[in-house]
Chain A
Amino acid sequence: KAGVTQTPRYLIKTRGQQVTLSCSPISGHRSVSWYQQTPGQGLQFLFEYFSETQRNKGNFPGRFSGRQFSNSRSEMNVSTLELGDSALYLCASSREKNTEAFFGQGTRLTVV
């Protein structure tokens, strides 16, 4: 059974640009959550999607957005990148909320 796949693994972007990250969940999982991981702030919740609807949102500015497609694949977008957006972005999939959540390997974003 394939795990959670995130692409790309690494990205380098310039301040002010925008970026789109992709996440393919485990087959049969309809819930996809996104987290930002930094050394200073740890793992912080961005948002969660279920059946193409955003069900939950963390405390991040509106520059961070996401969507989910009918096949449960999800994308997150960050516009007007700032240096502080440099982080490991992790996606987790689960069958339903409060069930086992499995993480992908993450996308390492560096903003220069």
Chain B
Amino acid sequence: GENVEQHPSTLSVQEGDSAVIKCTYSDSASNYFPWYKQELGKGPQLIIDIRSNVGEKKDQRIAVTLNKTAKHFSLHITETQPEDSAVYFCAASTNTGKLIFGQGTTLQVKP
């Protein structure tokens, strides 16, 4: 069935370092891959997304890469700041529009 695996489950970095979170999806029909950031007590916030016809997308300190052949996609955060500390979720969807989420990565950025 549909499944998204996300690694690592926790990630601790020093302020200014880079952070990378990786996801693997199972359904080859998946064509839309959003990333969400969730802070304590809040709903998930969309931070970046990528479609299957694109290999990479960048928005300031955040980038996402997609390898359709390997069914992998990754989130890259450069120059991390303490306010980047949160839980990050990857997701994948097909044309049904149903988002299948990874289990989440708790990112801690130490000042």
> What is the distance, in angstroms, from A70's C-beta to the closest C-beta of chain B?
20
Which B residues lie at the A interface, using CB under 8 A? 31-32, 34, 36, 41-46, 49, 89, 91, 93, 95-104
The answer to whether A97 and B96 have CB atoms under 8 Å apart is: yes
Given contacts A98-B32, A100-B34, A101-B34, contact A90 B99 (CB under 8 A): no
CB contact between B46 and one of A48, A102, A104, A106 (< 8 Å): that residue: A102
- Which B residues are CB-close (under 8 A) to A45? 98-100
The answer to whether B98 and A58 have CB atoms under 8 Å apart is: yes
Q: Does A27 contact B (CB under 8 A)?
A: no
Distance between Cα atoms of A98 and B91 in the complex (Å):
11
Given contacts A100-B46, A103-B44, contact A42 B101 (CB under 8 A): yes
Tell me whether chain B's interface is mostly helix, strand or loop, or mixed.
loop
Q: Does A31 contact B (CB under 8 A)?
A: yes
Q: Number of A-B pairs whose CB atoms are under 8 Å?
A: 62
> What is the distance, in angstroms, from A74's C-beta to the closest C-beta of chain B?
14
Query: Can you list 13 residue pairs at the A/B interface with Cβ under 8 Å?
Result: A6-B43, A35-B99, A35-B101, A43-B101, A48-B97, A48-B98, A55-B96, A96-B97, A97-B97, A100-B34, A100-B49, A102-B46, A103-B44
The answer to whether B43 and A43 have CB atoms under 8 Å apart is: no
Which A residues lie at the B interface, using CB under 8 A? 4, 6, 31, 33, 35, 42-45, 48, 55-56, 58, 90, 92, 94, 96-98, 100-106
> What is the distance, in angstroms, from A8's C-beta to the closest C-beta of chain B?
14
The answer to whether B100 and A90 have CB atoms under 8 Å apart is: no
Given contacts A42-B104, A101-B34, A105-B42, contact A33 B49 (CB under 8 A): no
CB contact between A98 and one of B43, B45, B89, B97 (< 8 Å): that residue: B97
Given contacts A43-B89, A101-B46, A106-B43, contact A56 B104 (CB under 8 A): no
Which A residue's beta carbon lies closest to that of B101? A43
